């Protein structure tokens, strides 16, 4: 990458347009090379008896805060949640895919005797998504998302484990599990805070409070974040629950936010 | 010469509304040596009688492992069964790669049935001449499935296919109510007893021609053959159960089939 400034102005704008043949070829096979409408971080955390996800409801168009009530936490089946940042249309596509699979599972009985328990567990959804994401990036046409998958893992004998599942898949198919996860800007801002406060035996209320604190801090520091958020959880006996979007209270009177650090009488920030 | 005008292609109906090629394929399953499968609440077991072409040759493999949790018993054309087994192994591996978990048996069984069915309405192809018994233990517990060349698939508590399998089936029907609570070894004994009835004439169930496959909760699929089978055969001997043609009630259907068997095609096991 060159650090020098690109030549600008009339000269650069006067560059010859691409040849017609090239333009048509480009149209024929378009691949995602960059995201257009994007969501930002998703946070996920295990707690006693469940997993919780949190994300704001902003979808940006570049730096423009375009859609302020977009839901980025979605239920896939009765025990699995996903949450995603990145290209919002790709998230819609992923949700259609996974929900389609879930519908198939519901409609086809694997056994003639037992019709229940056909559902994919969160671990399977996560693994499947990993295969899809990796295949897409190998075709040089990635789904531009980092997806967090939450739920419970199933034992080989069909029983659901007590321990919750939390995993993430990124846009090139890298996949891993952890007790606390954050994608996007949250991986820099929120993840250290979450790791500091996390305990495996946290109560639901504590977990929610911690996630809300992290979302609030992300709203302060991430220019693509919003204080309108959603929280979602999967519990052992209650299944999935995704909250309606709601707004976090914010406090802007911190001295650091108010006083001018530039000391030059400018509008310099904090 | 013109014995039958309607059996030269799978896609041609006979005036009676039958697909003769498919029926012939179903017959080839009956020519293969017997194979039984049954399940309890914790285990699935396959038992099979292996054939050898001559005194000098070894016995043909009858039970094939597909995955850690799944095995098949075959009756009919071995070559066809091996083709299907290879495909099934591949499907199981693909499922493990994509989902990270074991292939649900029901899904594999219906996909397998679709494969069978496709050959029955595609010209230039012929139906697979093999019937399979699937025994597995997956996330929904133990399963036994039976597939036919016609494309039918049945999930069973117990099943028997192959030559003289009727007496084995009769045994299973008589005792199936006790199967759910059976332990692993008791289930194997039931399989062996069902097999004994399927042996022709003066034959005997030995560690050479007997073959057992077991899978269950916390136990991956294993084959029990040769020396490992001997203890079970000894137990059978103690019960006085291992003399064919006597112990279990022989159902009709026998004699004609026995004749056929003598001139059996080498391909069918």
Q: Nearest by CB to B98, from A112, A118, A127: name it.
A: A127
Q: List beta partners, residue B268.
A: B77
Task: Output the domain CATH number for residue A205.
Answer: 3.60.20.10
**pLDDT for residue A108 is more than 90:** no
**pLDDT for residue B124 is more than 70:** yes
B104 touches chain A (CB under 8 A): yes
Q: Nearest by CB to A110, from B99, B140, B217: name it.
A: B140
**pLDDT for residue A4 is more than 60:** no
Q: Is there a domain that residue A254 lies in?
A: no
A155 touches chain B (CB under 8 A): yes
Domain that holds residue A51: 37-248
Q: Do A124 and B100 touch (CB under 8 A)?
A: yes
- pLDDT tens for B169-207 read 999 999 999 999 999 999 999 999 999 999 988 889 999
pLDDT at A33: 85
Q: Is there a domain that residue A44 lies in?
A: yes
**pLDDT for residue B56 is more than 50:** yes
Q: Do A110 and B69 touch (CB under 8 A)?
A: no
Q: How many domains does chain A have?
A: 1
pLDDT at B242: 74
Q: Is there a domain that residue A148 lies in?
A: yes
pLDDT at B2: 60
Q: Which of A171, A179, A134, A235 has its CA nearest to residue A43?
A: A179
Q: Is there a domain that residue A23 lies in?
A: no
- The residue annotated as part of the active site, out of A32, A40, A57, A235, is A32
Q: Do A112 and B155 touch (CB under 8 A)?
A: yes
Q: Is there a domain that residue A64 lies in?
A: yes
Given pLDDT bands bounded at 50, 70 and 90, which one contains residue B267?
A: low
B157 touches chain A (CB under 8 A): no
Helices B184-196 and B230-239: crossing angle, nearest 10°?
70
Q: In angstroms, rounded to a whole number, what is the distance separating the alpha carbons of residues B119 and B116?
A: 6
- The share of chain B scoring above pLDDT 70, in percent, equals 90
The residue count for chain B:
269
| Structure-derived torsion over alpha carbons of residues B168, B173, B178, B184, reported in degrees to the nearest 10 | 30
Given pLDDT bands bounded at 50, 70 and 90, which one contains residue A3?
A: very low
pLDDT at A202: 96
pLDDT at B131: 97
pLDDT at A117: 62
Q: Is there a domain that residue A20 lies in?
A: no
pLDDT at A227: 96
Q: In angstroms, rounded to a whole number, what is the distance separating the alpha carbons of residues B110 and B117?
A: 10
- pLDDT tens for B151-161 read 999 999 999 99
**pLDDT for residue A212 is more than 70:** yes
Chain A residues with CB under 8 Å of B152 CB are: none
**pLDDT for residue A190 is more than 90:** yes
Query: Can you tell me the mean pLDDT for A54-67?
Result: 97
Q: Rounded to 5 degrees, what are φ and ψ at B63?
A: -120, 125
pLDDT averaged over every residue in chain A? 87
pLDDT at B246: 44
The ipTM assigned to this model is 0.83
Residue to mutate among A110, A161, A176, with most B CBs inside 10 A, is: A110
A157 touches chain B (CB under 8 A): yes
Q: Do A158 and B141 touch (CB under 8 A)?
A: yes
Q: Is there a domain that residue A255 lies in?
A: no
Residue to mutate among A79, A80, A112, A122, with most B CBs inside 10 A, is: A112
Q: Do A158 and B101 touch (CB under 8 A)?
A: no
HEC-encoded secondary structure of chain A = CCCCCCCCHHHHHCCCCCCHHHHHHHHHCCCCCCCCEEECCEEEEEECCEEEEEEECCEEECCEEEECCCCCEEEEECCEEEEEEEEHHHHHHHHHHHHHHHHHHHHCCCCCCCCCCCCCCHHHHHHHHHHHHHHHHHCCCCCCEEEEEEEEEECCCCCEEEEEEEEEECCCCCEEECCEEECCCHHHHHHHHHHHHCCCCCCHHHHHHHHHHHHHHHHHHCCCCCCEEEEEEEECCCEEEECCCEECCCCCCCHHHHCCCCCCCCCCCC
**What are the extents of the domains in chain B?**
32-255
pLDDT at A114: 61
Chain A residues with CB under 8 Å of B98 CB are: 127-128, 131
- pLDDT tens for B71-118 read 999 999 999 999 999 999 999 999 999 999 999 999 999 999 999 999
Among A197-206, B9-18, B41-50, B246-255, name the one with the lowest average pLDDT.
Answer: B246-255
pLDDT at B266: 53
Q: Do B101 and A156 touch (CB under 8 A)?
A: yes
Among A5-9, A154-158, A234-238, B150-154, name the one with the lowest average pLDDT.
Answer: A5-9
Among A250-259, B21-30, B38-47, B241-250, name the one with the lowest average pLDDT.
Answer: B241-250
- pLDDT tens for A79-96 read 999 999 999 999 999 999
Give the chain A residue nearest B68 (alpha carbons): A156
Query: Can you tell me the mean pLDDT for A209-237?
Result: 96
**CA distances for A161 relative to A149, A158, B65, B99, B219, angstroms:** 16, 9, 28, 17, 19
Chain A residues with CB under 8 Å of B69 CB are: 156
CATH code reported for the domain at B32-255: 3.60.20.10
Query: Can you tell me the mean pLDDT for B208-219?
Result: 95
Q: In angstroms, rounded to a whole number, what is the distance separating the alpha carbons of residues A223 and A63?
A: 8
Residue A32 bears catalytic tag:
yes
Q: Is there a domain that residue A262 lies in?
A: no
Q: How far apart are the first and last CA of chain A?
A: 30
The rounded Cα B233 to chain-centroid distance in angstroms is 20
């Amino acid at each position: 990458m060159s650090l020098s400034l690109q030549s600008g102005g009339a000269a650069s704008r006067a560059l010859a347009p691409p040849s017609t043949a090239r333009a048509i070829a480009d149209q024929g096979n378009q691949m995602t090379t960059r995201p257009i409408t994007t969501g930002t971080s998703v946070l996920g955390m295990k707690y006693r008896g469940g997993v919780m996800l949190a994300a704001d409801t902003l979808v940006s168009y570049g730096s423009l805060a375009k859609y302020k009530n977009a839901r980025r936490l979605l239920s896939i089946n009765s025990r699995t949640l996903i949450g995603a940042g990145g290209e919002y249309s790709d998230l819609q596509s992923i949700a259609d895919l996974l929900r389609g699979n879930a519908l198939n599972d519901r409609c086809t009985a694997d056994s003639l005797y037992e019709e229940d328990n056909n559902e994919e567990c969160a671990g399977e959804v996560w693994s499947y998504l990993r295969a899809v994401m990796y295949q897409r990036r190998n075709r040089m046409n990635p789904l531009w998302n980092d997806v967090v998958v939450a739920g419970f893992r199933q034992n080989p004998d069909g029983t659901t484990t007590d321990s919750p599942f939390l995993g993430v898949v990124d846009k090139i198919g890298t996949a891993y599990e952890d007790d606390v996860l954050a994608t996007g800007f949250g991986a820099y801002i929120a993840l250290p805070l979450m790791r500091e406060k996390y305990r495996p035996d946290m109560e639901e209320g504590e977990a929610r409070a911690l996630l809300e604190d992290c979302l609030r801090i992300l709203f302060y520091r991430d220019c693509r974040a919003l204080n309108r958020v959603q929280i979602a959880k999967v519990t052992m006996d209650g299944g999935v629950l995704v909250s309606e979007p709601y707004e976090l209270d914010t406090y802007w009177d911190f001295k650091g936010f108010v006083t001018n650090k530039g000391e030059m009488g400018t509008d310099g920030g904090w | 010469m013109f014995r039958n005008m309607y059996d030269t292609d799978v896609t041609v109906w006979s005036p009676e509304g039958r697909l003769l090629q498919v029926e012939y394929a179903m017959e080839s399953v009956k020519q293969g040596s017997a194979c039984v499968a049954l399940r309890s609440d914790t285990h699935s077991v396959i038992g099979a009688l292996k054939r050898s072409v001559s005194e000098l040759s070894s016995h043909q493999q009858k039970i094939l492992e597909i995955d850690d949790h799944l095995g098949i018993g075959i009756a009919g054309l071995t070559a066809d069964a091996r083709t299907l087994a290879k495909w099934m192994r591949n499907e199981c591996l693909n499922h493990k790669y994509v989902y990270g978990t074991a292939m649900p048996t029901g899904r594999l069984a219906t996909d397998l049935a679709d494969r069978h069915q496709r050959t029955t309405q595609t010209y230039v192809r012929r139906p697979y001449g093999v019937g399979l018994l699937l025994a597995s233990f997956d996330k929904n517990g133990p399963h036994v499935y039976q597939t036919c060349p016609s494309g039918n698939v049945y999930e069973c508590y117990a099943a028997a296919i192959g030559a003289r399998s009727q007496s084995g089936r009769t045994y299973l029907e008589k005792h199936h109510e006790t199967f759910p609570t059976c332990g692993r070894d008791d289930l194997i004994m039931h399989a062996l007893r069902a097999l004994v009835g399927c042996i022709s004439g003066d034959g005997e169930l030995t560690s050479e021609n007997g073959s057992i496959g077991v899978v269950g909760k916390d136990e991956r699929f294993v084959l029990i053959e040769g020396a490992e089978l001997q203890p079970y055969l000894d137990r059978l001997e103690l019960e006085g159960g291992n003399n064919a043609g006597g112990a279990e009630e022989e159902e009709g259907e026998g004699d004609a089939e026995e004749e056929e068997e003598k001139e059996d095609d080498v391909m069918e096991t």
